[in-house]
Amino acid sequence: MTADTPLPEPPADCPLCPRLAAFRAANRAAYPDFHNNPVPSFGPDDAELLIVGLAPGLKGANRTGRPFTGDYAGDLLYRTLLDYGLATGSYDRRPDDGLQLANCRVTNAVRCVPPENKPTPAEVRTCRQFLERELRSLTRLKAILALGRVAHDAVVAAVAGRGSAFRFGHCGVHQLPNGLWLIDSYHCSRYNQNIGRITHKMLRSVFDAALVRRPETSTENDKTLH
């Protein structure tokens, strides 16, 4: 697998989740110039860090076809990636802005836009096969950053098949059974930013945990940094 080899992605107009397929069809009628298909992952396939979000936003990634691009959450996420040298260029809310990711890849637990930004548990389970394939294909992967509880649970289920030993908590660090590190963060959604649940400083603390303070020899299943 090389940086030029595409990883497995859902097919265009994926039919696996009927509710999401119907919502995409409705959006094609309402917004014919939008992407309105499953949103592929963004970034090199030899990345050591994978960031997993919830799902495309209706007028963000569902419009642009690139994760976190065109919405409020992407403003904070990509600003932080640029801060840490995990992206180059500039972010301008459009897929042709020239932004490139460096040793980092971004995806979502659910690849299609859900109504009201809320996928059902069944839809998360159905889409998990694509996350599982991606994790198997990323041969240099060392750490996963989960943005929100849904992303955390999807990653844990994809790797371990269970979640009780890995509790979600902001800036929580877990070593998964396959040796990968999982780092948790509150999602950088507009709502979470507006109520102060996540700030630029708080998100930076998560990246510090992922890239600087990540324990190298600990065998604990669950460790929260303070």
What confidence tens digit (pLDDT) does each residue in 27-72 have?
A: 999 999 999 999 999 999 999 999 999 999 999 999 999 999 999 9
> Can you read off the two tokens belonging to residue 217?
């020899």
The answer on pLDDT for 125 being more than 90 is yes
Query: What pLDDT shows up at residue 7?
Result: 62
Segment 72-77 shows an average pLDDT of 96
The pLDDT confidence band at residue 160, using thresholds 50, 70 and 90, is: confident
Q: Are 91 and 79 a contacting pair, CB within 8 Å? A: yes
Give the integer Cα–Cα distance in Å for 103 and 46: 7
The pLDDT confidence band at residue 8, using thresholds 50, 70 and 90, is: confident
In the chain the domains, ranked by start, together with CATH numbers, are: 18-213 (3.40.470.10)
Q: What percentage of residues in the chain have a pLDDT greater than 70?
A: 90
The answer on pLDDT for 151 being more than 70 is yes
Q: State how far the alpha carbon of 99 is from the alpha carbons of 34, 102, 138, 216, in Å.
A: 20, 10, 21, 31
Query: What pLDDT shows up at residue 152?
Result: 97
- Greater model confidence, 4 or 77: 77
For the entire predicted model, the pTM comes to 0.90
Q: Are 52 and 131 a contacting pair, CB within 8 Å? A: yes
